[in-house]
Amino acid sequence: MAVVSVIVGGTQGLGKDIARRLAARGEQVYLSGRDQSRADAVAAEIGHGAKGLAIDLSRPHDIAGALKAVPAVTNVVIAAIERDSNSARDYGIDRAIKLATLKLVGYTEVVHALADRLTPNASVVLFGGLAKERPYPGSTTITTVNGAVSSMIRTLAVELAPVRFNAIHPGIIGDTPEWAGKAEALERTIARTPLKRLATMEDVAGATLFLLDNQAVNGVNLNIDGGWVLT
Ligand SMILES: NC(=O)c1ccc[n+]([C@@H]2O[C@H](COP(=O)([O-])OP(=O)(O)OC[C@H]3O[C@@H](n4cnc5c(N)ncnc54)[C@H](OP(=O)(O)O)[C@@H]3O)[C@@H](O)[C@H]2O)c1
């Protein structure tokens, strides 16, 4: 029977790229976005029998029901994000609540909802981001939630052992939709990056597959940024 994988936030960007790779290696992929028809369309584009799910992580009470159709699962990747610009001087409480709910309560509720269906060799990869260490104007909520993802994997790895929990913290991934048309900002980051290029979706997907597959890596926060955080 095929290994089952769930990719939450799999309709575009990093989640979609990872979903495509897991499907191509023969896994039964369930990928989600907020909208069922969009998720179905992306699943059909990926092929290999991938299925779409509608999950809105900012509505955590609905998550368990949305995951009901998923059978016993081995690989879980949670990459969903709805970005928010927020600062202490110009604080939007509703926006902050939405993002904090999505990344903190929503990510945890996905794990809670699937907990009884995780196989003993299951692996979960959560997406934080390098804003946890490198704040920028307007990143207050993003910096806070991405920092919290670092801690979340540690408690989940202990509570749900032997299931493994790790996190990816991307720097600026230049070929994601998020950075399309922002060449100037990308050039500034390249100039500061020891690698002299940006990390790519392929780099992030490779790191994610490593965390999913390696049976001894657990509780690890992995920056994928070409060393940007060092400068
Ligand atoms: N791209 C980067 O350079 C970068 C840098 C640092 C960190 N990251 C992190 O890496 C992860 C992936 O980033 P990305 O740039 O690839 O994302 P993205 O292209 O913006 O895609 C976001 C995904 O999340 C889904 N989504 C949006 N709102 C949602 C909600 N309320 N509930 C559930 N799903 C929702 C979207 O699906 P629908 O629109 O179909 O609903 C989509 O599949 C995120 O956690 C992000 O914080 C990325």
Domain coordinates of the chain in residue numbers?
A: 4-178+201-226
Per-residue pLDDT reduced to its tens digit, 180-210: 999 999 999 999 999 999 999 999 999 999 9
pLDDT the model gives residue 1: 85
190 CA distance to ligand 1 centroid (A)? Answer: 22
8 CA distance to ligand 1 centroid (A)? Answer: 9
Q: Evaluate whether 142 touches 131 at the Cβ level (below 8 Å).
A: yes
Per-residue pLDDT reduced to its tens digit, 47-79: 999 999 999 999 999 999 999 999 999 999 999
159 CA distance to ligand 1 centroid (A)? Answer: 26
Q: Using CA of residue 94, residue 223, residue 217, residue 55, what is the dihedral sign?
A: positive
Q: Evaluate whether 56 touches 103 at the Cβ level (below 8 Å).
A: no
Q: Facing residues of 77 across strands?
A: 7, 125
71 CA distance to ligand 1 centroid (A)? Answer: 24
pLDDT the model gives residue 184: 97
16 CA distance to ligand 1 centroid (A)? Answer: 10
The pTM of this model reads: 0.98
Q: Show the ligand 1 pocket: residues with CB < 6 angstroms.
A: 9-15, 33-35, 38, 55-58, 79-82, 102, 127, 129-130, 170, 172-173, 176-179
Closest residue by CA, ligand 1 atom 17: 13
Residue to probe by mutation, ligand 1, list 40, 81, 145, most atoms within 8 Å of CB: 81
Q: How does the average pLDDT of the chain come out, rounded?
A: 98
Per-residue pLDDT reduced to its tens digit, 121-156: 999 999 999 999 999 999 999 999 999 999 999 999
CATH of 4-178+201-226, one of 1.10.3720.10, 3.40.50.2300, 3.40.50.720, 3.30.465.10: 3.40.50.720
Residue 25 has pLDDT above 90, yes or no: yes
Label each residue of 63-126 as H, E or C. HHHHCCCCCCEEEEEECCCCCCCECCCCCCHHHHHHHHHHHHHHHHHHHHHHHHHEEEEEEEEE
Considering only CA atoms, which of 112, 148, 156 is closest in space to residue 127? 148
pLDDT the model gives residue 6: 99
Amino acid identity of 229?
V
Q: Evaluate whether 226 touches 194 at the Cβ level (below 8 Å).
A: yes
